[in-house]
Structure 1
Amino acid sequence: MRKGKLAKLYAIAAASALAASLVIPLAPQPVHADRGVVDLWKAIKPLTTIASAMNTGAHPDDEHSAMLAYLSLGKGVDTSSVIANRGEGGQNEIGSELGNALGIIRTRELQEASKITNIHLENLSEKIDDPIFDFGFSKSPEETLEKWGEDIAYERLIRKIRTLRPDVLIPAFLNEPSTHGHHRAINVMTVRAFKDAADPNVFPEHWKEGLSPWQVKKLYVPAQEKDYSVSIPVGAYDEIYGASYVQLGEESRFMHKSQGMGRHYDEGPSYSYYKLAQSIVETKAKEADFFEGIAYTFDDLAKEAAAQSGGEKVANELKKLQKDAEEVMAAYPRFAAVAKEAHEMLADVQKALREVESSPLPADTKTDLRHRLGVKQAQLYKASAEALSLVTKVKPETNELVAGQTTKVTVSAYNGGQAKVNNVKLTLNVPKGWQARALSTTSFPSLGYNQTVKTTYEVTVPAHAELFQPYAAPAITADVSYSFAGSTATSHVVPSDAVAVLPAFAMTLDPNATVLNTLQPQEPIPVKVTVKNYKPGPAQTSISLEVPEGWNVEPKAAPLRFDTKGETKSAAFTVKAPASVKPAAYTITAVAAGGGKESRHGAQVIRYPHIGTTYFVQPATLTVQAFDLKVPAGLKVGYVSSGFDNIDQYLAQLGVDVTNLTAKDIESGDLDQYDTIVLGIRAYGFRPELISSNARLLKYVENGGNLVVQYHKPEDKWKPELAPYPIKIGTPLIEWRVTDENSKVTMLAPDHAIFNTPNKITEEDWNNWIQDRSAYNPSEWGKEYTELIANGDPGEKEFTGTFLTAKYGKGTYTYSSLVWYREIPALVPGAIRMFVNMVSLQQ
Structure 2
Amino acid sequence: MKIDKLVLFNLMNWLLPCLFLTLHLSCLNAQSSSAIFKQIKKLNFLGTVLYFAAHPDDENTRVISYFSNHLLARTAYLSLTRGDGGQNLIGPELREGLGLIRTQELLAARKIDGGEQFFTMANDFGYSKSPEETFKFWDKEKVLSQVIDRIKEFKPDIIINRFNIGSSGRTHGHHTASAIISNLAFNQIIENSYDENWKPKRLFWNTSRYFFRNEENFKNNNKESLIKIDMGVHDPITGQSNSEIAALSRSQHKSQGFGSSPALGSRLEYLLLVKGKPLSGNNPFEGINTSWTRIKDGAAIDRIINEIITDFDFKNPIRSVPKLLKVKDLISKINNQHWKHIKLNEVKRIIINCIGLAIQINADIPYGVRGESLSLNLIINNPSSEKVIIDKIILKNKTYEIGKELRKNQVFRKKIKHIINEPISTPYWLIGGGKDGMYDTKQKEFTGLPNTPNPYILNLSLIVEGVKLNFEKALSFRKNDPVKGEVVTPFQILPSAATSLKSPVELFNVNETKSVVVKVKNLGKLFNGKLSIKSPKSWVITPNDQQVNINGKGIEQDFTFMVTAPKNEEVVLLEPELTNNNEKIKLAIKEISYDHIPKIYMVQPASARAVALNLKTGVKRVAYINGAGDKVVESIESVGVDVEKFDAEAITLKKLKPFDAVIVGIRAFNVNESLSYKKNVLWAYTKQGGNLLIQYNTSRGLKTKSITPLNIQVSRDRVTDENAEVKLLNSSHPVLNSPNKISSNDFKGWVQERGLYFPNQWDKEFTPLIEMNDKGESPKKGALLVAKYGKGKLVYTGLSFFRQLPEGVPGAYRLFFNLIANN
What is the TM-score normalised by the length of structure 1?
A: 0.85
Q: Letter of the aligned partner of 1:565 in structure 2? A: K
Aligned to 1:3: none
Q: Do the aligned residues in 2 keep the contact of 1:170 with 1:220 (CA within 8 Å)? A: yes
Counterparts of 2:75 and 2:466 in 1: how far apart (Å)? Answer: 30
List runs of 5+ in structure 2 lacking aligned partners. Answer: 16-26, 209-218, 429-450, 477-488
Tell me how far 1:85 sits from its aligned partner: 1.1
**SS of the residue aligned with 1:693?**
helix
Aligned to 1:401: 368
Q: Do the aligned residues in 1 keep the contact of 2:29 with 2:358 (CA within 8 Å)? A: no
Aligned to 1:545: 533
**SS of the residue aligned with 2:553?**
coil
Tell me how far 1:445 sits from its aligned partner: 4.2
Counterparts of 2:784 and 2:9 in 1: how far apart (Å)? Answer: 53
Aligned to 2:244: 247
Aligned to 1:641: 626
Match of 1:493 among 473, 476, 482: 473
Is 1:598 the counterpart of 2:587? The answer is no
Match of 1:778 among 732, 748, 759: 759
Deviations 1:342-389 (A, max 9, x none): 2221112123x1xx4xxxxxxxxxxxx432333222211222222221
Aligned to 1:55: 51
Is 1:101 the counterpart of 2:97? The answer is yes
Identity of aligned residues (%): 27
Q: Do the aligned residues in 2 keep the contact of 1:647 with 1:824 (CA within 8 Å)? A: yes
Aligned to 1:588: 574
Tell me how far 1:408 sits from its aligned partner: 2.6
1:328-727 equivalence runs, <5 A: 328-330=308-310, 331-333=312-314, 334-351=316-333, 353=334, 356=335, 369-422=336-389, 424-428=391-395, 430=396, 437=398, 441-462=400-421, 465-466=423-424, 468-470=426-428, 471-485=451-465, 487-496=467-476, 497-518=489-510, 521-522=511-512, 524-536=513-525, 538-578=526-566, 581-632=567-618, 634-663=619-648, 665-667=650-652, 669-727=654-712
**SS of the residue aligned with 2:573?**
strand
**SS of the residue aligned with 2:362?**
strand
Aligned to 1:306: none
**Greater Cα offset, 403-412 or 756-765:** 403-412
What is the alpha-carbon root mean square deviation over aligned residues?
Answer: 2.7
1:290-329 equivalence runs, <5 A: 290-299=284-293, 301=294, 314=296, 317-329=297-309
Tell me how far 1:179 sits from its aligned partner: 1.2
Counterparts of 1:33 and 1:380 in 2: how far apart (Å)? Answer: 15
1:26-41 equivalence runs, <5 A: 36-41=32-37
Q: Do the aligned residues in 2 keep the contact of 1:137 with 1:739 (CA within 8 Å)? A: yes
**SS of the residue aligned with 1:68?**
helix
Tell me how far 1:17 sits from its aligned partner: 8.3
Deviations 1:739-775 (A, max 9, x none): 1111111111222122111111111111111111111
Counterparts of 2:713 and 2:703 in 1: how far apart (Å)? Answer: 9
Q: Letter of the aligned partner of 1:567 in structure 2? A: I
Counterparts of 1:138 and 1:277 in 2: how far apart (Å)? Answer: 25
Tell me how far 1:212 sits from its aligned partner: 7.0
Q: Which has the higher contact order (CA 8 A, sep 6+)?
A: 2
Q: Do the aligned residues in 2 keep the contact of 1:174 with 1:221 (CA within 8 Å)? A: yes
Deviations 1:250-281 (A, max 9, x none): 2122222221222112422212111111113x
**Greater Cα offset, 641-650 or 325-334:** 325-334
Q: Do the aligned residues in 2 keep the contact of 1:171 with 1:187 (CA within 8 Å)? A: yes
Change (3 A) 1:504 1:512: same
Match of 1:237 among 234, 237, 246: 234
Deviations 1:771-828 (A, max 9, x none): 1111112222222211111111101112111211111111121111111101111111
Change (3 A) 1:338 1:668: farther
Counterparts of 2:112 and 2:410 in 1: how far apart (Å)? Answer: 29
Tell me how far 1:427 sits from its aligned partner: 2.5
Q: Letter of the aligned partner of 1:510 in structure 2? A: K
**SS of the residue aligned with 2:756?**
coil
**SS of the residue aligned with 2:796?**
strand
Counterparts of 2:14 and 2:258 in 1: how far apart (Å)? Answer: 16
**SS of the residue aligned with 1:721?**
coil
Change (3 A) 1:746 1:348: same
Q: Letter of the aligned partner of 1:173 in structure 2? A: F
Is 1:222 the counterpart of 2:203? The answer is no
Counterparts of 1:63 and 1:671 in 2: how far apart (Å)? Answer: 44
Deviations 1:195-235 (A, max 9, x none): 2113338xxxxx6xxx7795211111022465253223221
Counterparts of 1:135 and 1:66 in 2: how far apart (Å)? Answer: 28
**SS of the residue aligned with 1:608?**
coil
**SS of the residue aligned with 2:361?**
strand
Q: Do the aligned residues in 2 keep the contact of 1:65 with 1:252 (CA within 8 Å)? A: yes
Counterparts of 2:499 and 2:370 in 1: how far apart (Å)? Answer: 16
Q: Do the aligned residues in 2 keep the contact of 1:20 with 1:241 (CA within 8 Å)? A: no
**SS of the residue aligned with 1:480?**
strand
Q: Do the aligned residues in 1 keep the contact of 2:669 with 2:704 (CA within 8 Å)? A: no
Counterparts of 1:740 and 1:18 in 2: how far apart (Å)? Answer: 50
Change (3 A) 1:221 1:725: same
Change (3 A) 1:815 1:41: farther
How many residue pairs end up in the alignment? 763
1:41-80 equivalence runs, <5 A: 41-80=37-76
Tell me how far 1:32 sits from its aligned partner: 13
Change (3 A) 1:34 1:501: closer
Q: Letter of the aligned partner of 1:144 in structure 2? A: T
Q: Letter of the aligned partner of 1:242 in structure 2? A: G
**SS of the residue aligned with 1:197?**
helix
Counterparts of 2:196 and 2:591 in 1: how far apart (Å)? Answer: 41
Q: Do the aligned residues in 1 keep the contact of 2:609 with 2:807 (CA within 8 Å)? A: no
Q: Letter of the aligned partner of 2:304 in structure 1? A: D
**SS of the residue aligned with 1:503?**
coil
Q: Do the aligned residues in 1 keep the contact of 2:301 with 2:327 (CA within 8 Å)? A: yes
**Greater Cα offset, 789-798 or 658-667:** 658-667
Is 1:184 the counterpart of 2:147? The answer is no
Counterparts of 1:212 and 1:658 in 2: how far apart (Å)? Answer: 66
**SS of the residue aligned with 1:472?**
coil
Aligned to 2:24: none
Counterparts of 1:18 and 1:136 in 2: how far apart (Å)? Answer: 41
Match of 1:811 among 779, 792, 801: 792
List runs of 5+ in structure 1 lacking aligned partners. Answer: 1-6, 10-14, 126-131, 202-206, 303-313, 357-368, 431-435
Match of 1:198 among 163, 167, 190: 190
Counterparts of 2:539 and 2:248 in 1: how far apart (Å)? Answer: 54
Change (3 A) 1:253 1:494: farther
Counterparts of 1:587 and 1:741 in 2: how far apart (Å)? Answer: 21
Tell me how far 1:240 sits from its aligned partner: 2.6
Q: Do the aligned residues in 1 keep the contact of 2:676 with 2:704 (CA within 8 Å)? A: no
Deviations 1:518-543 (A, max 9, x none): 2xx23x2222222221223x443333
**SS of the residue aligned with 1:714?**
coil
**SS of the residue aligned with 1:673?**
coil
Is 1:258 the counterpart of 2:244? The answer is no
Tell me how far 1:109 sits from its aligned partner: 1.6
Q: Do the aligned residues in 1 keep the contact of 2:89 with 2:254 (CA within 8 Å)? A: yes
Aligned to 1:362: none
**SS of the residue aligned with 2:785?**
strand
